[in-house]
Amino acid sequence: MTNTVILAAKRGREPIKHLGPHELRDIGERVGFDGAALATASRLVAKVDSAAVQDGFDLYLHGFIVTDDGHWAVVQQGMNGDRRQARRYHWLSESLASFVDAPHAAIAGEPGGEIVNLADRRAESSRLGQLDLLAALGPDRIVWEVRRSTTATDAPKAAPTTQPLLPHLVMPSHHDVRPGDVNMRRLHATLAAAADAGPKDFAELLLTPGVGARTVRSLAMVAEIVHGAPYRFADPARFSMAHGGKDRHPFPVPIRVYDQTIRVLKTAIAHARLGREEELAALKRLDDQARRLEGRTAGPTFPQVLDQERRDSHANGGRSVFGWEPPPTCRSFG
């Protein structure tokens, strides 16, 4: 999915497909931001996640996104071929105080045991010590020091953090979405909240062609992600019920619903900037309603939900890497 999003962003900026350091500097001069600094940031971010963080994942994707006012975000992805797992690294310029002292906005991936992470805040003494060693003794002593610092007896003890825990998703090891991966109590509450609060809160939106009950259901799940708390993300597979997946798991992406969800969110954000926050408030009410209904509502089983989505897929503009979904009478699901 990360590859797909980055590729789509690049295609959306055609004819500019690939920007290197020289192109960033040239564009910076034309637009008015410091392109040279951005080029340096791009190289440094890649170097940190490939050299300072040695976690067994080799970088193969580097997405550097720049706004007109010079703010930037980086999404990098590494692959561990032996474990057949990927790890994603997120950077944001707004919250970045140092490139080498706890610089990441987030790192998404399965724990991999002890690693060498010189970008950890607790590694400051090691970084300073390495600079001193380099000046006094050369690189061979640095290699020895790094190896020594990662042994069980000399490993630094975890220090308490003053930062709150970020919301995180705990993903299952298998790819397909199974009934055991979904908290049905929360799914039923979301569906009920969309049916109950949706028409009331989104009356104006529902008058817009293309926005119907299915879009409101997706918005209810999006609302939980926006307003959720970390403990509510223990079953992230449930959120795939909003817009499916490009490989038809758990069902093909409903393009019409997907596009309408994006349009509603863009409209809500645009209106909020003008002081009109009705749509954003409606999203919050959808989430509040879903939480109130948890434990007091029931609904279809997981297979029944999937069956309905697949039967409606063609009508909702269902599409996957295999192409557009045909009418239900022309296909079967094994």
d(CA 194, CA 192): 5
Give the per-residue pLDDT at 163: 44
Q: Three-class SS of residue 35?
A: helix
| 318-320 vs 323-324, strand pairing mode | antiparallel
139 versus 89: the higher-pLDDT residue is: 89
| Phi, psi dihedrals of residue 150, rounded to the nearest 5° | -100, 5
Would you list the domain boundaries of the chain? 2-114, 120-163, 179-330
AA letter at 50: S
106 versus 155: the higher-pLDDT residue is: 106
State pLDDT tens for residues 232-284: 666 677 888 888 988 898 999 999 889 888 888 888 788 777 777 777 777 78
Give the per-residue pLDDT at 230: 59
User: Residue 190 — very low, low, confident or very high, per pLDDT cuts 50/70/90?
Assistant: confident
Are 108 and 87 in contact by the 8 Å Cβ rule? The answer is yes
Give the per-residue pLDDT at 153: 43
Of 312, 297, 308, which is closest to residue 184 (Cα–Cα)? 297
d(CA 196, CA 194): 6
Mean pLDDT in the chain? 75
